[in-house]
């Protein structure tokens, strides 16, 4: 049967079937009186014979408990899915850049900044570029501390000269 909670169309008898349990008592009485009693009805009857025109307290409690259970399960599933992802560090799976590549990258950036410094037009621009250069110098000092004497030797003369000028 197609339709909604209150009215469904029965394709077998070609009539509309009305669910008076979805109506209030007054609505159901007015509806039945308005049709002259010739109507297909669907209703819920308790064991004691009482016709329900609205969900009783027991049904409401069951619906509430079902909603709480479904919400709790959905929340639990969501937490199981989300928390492991949140617990993983952002760098998980990322590879550390080799020290020579890090140093080379910093030196290239510093070289580009020096060119920008020469072309900077305002004192504010020059100061901002100087501050960026200082940050790169600090990074290079950290790299130097992490390097062994052997690694330092393998950098080559050009890199050493570049580092000394910074």
DSSP track, 135-155: HHHHHHHHHHHHS-HHHHHTT
Radius of gyration of the chain (CA): 39
Task: Give the pair of three-digit tokens for residue 100.
Answer: 């020579």
pLDDT, tens only, 30-86? 877 877 767 776 666 777 777 666 556 667 788 889 999 999 999 988 888 877 766
pLDDT, tens only, 99-133? 777 878 888 888 888 888 888 889 998 899 999 88
Task: Give the pair of three-digit tokens for residue 110.
Answer: 């510093």
């Amino acid at each position: 049967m197609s339709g909604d909670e209150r009215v469904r169309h029965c394709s077998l008898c070609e009539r509309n079937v009305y669910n008076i349990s979805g109506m209030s008592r007054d609505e159901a009485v007015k509806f039945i009186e308005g049709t002259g009693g010739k109507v297909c009805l669907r209703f819920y009857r308790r064991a004691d014979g009482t016709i329900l025109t609205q969900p009783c307290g027991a049904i409401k409690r069951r619906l509430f408990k079902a909603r709480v259970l479904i919400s709790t399960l959905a929340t639990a599933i969501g937490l199981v899915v989300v928390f492991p992802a949140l617990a993983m560090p952002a760098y998980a799976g990322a590879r550390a850049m080799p020290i020579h590549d890090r140093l080379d990258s910093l030196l290239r950036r510093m070289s580009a900044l020096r060119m920008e410094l020469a072309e900077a037009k305002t004192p504010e621009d020059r100061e901002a570029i100087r501050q960026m250069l200082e940050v790169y110098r600090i990074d290079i000092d950290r790299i130097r501390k992490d390097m062994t004497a052997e690694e330092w030797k393998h950098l080559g003369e050009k890199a050493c000269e570049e580092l000394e000028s910074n």
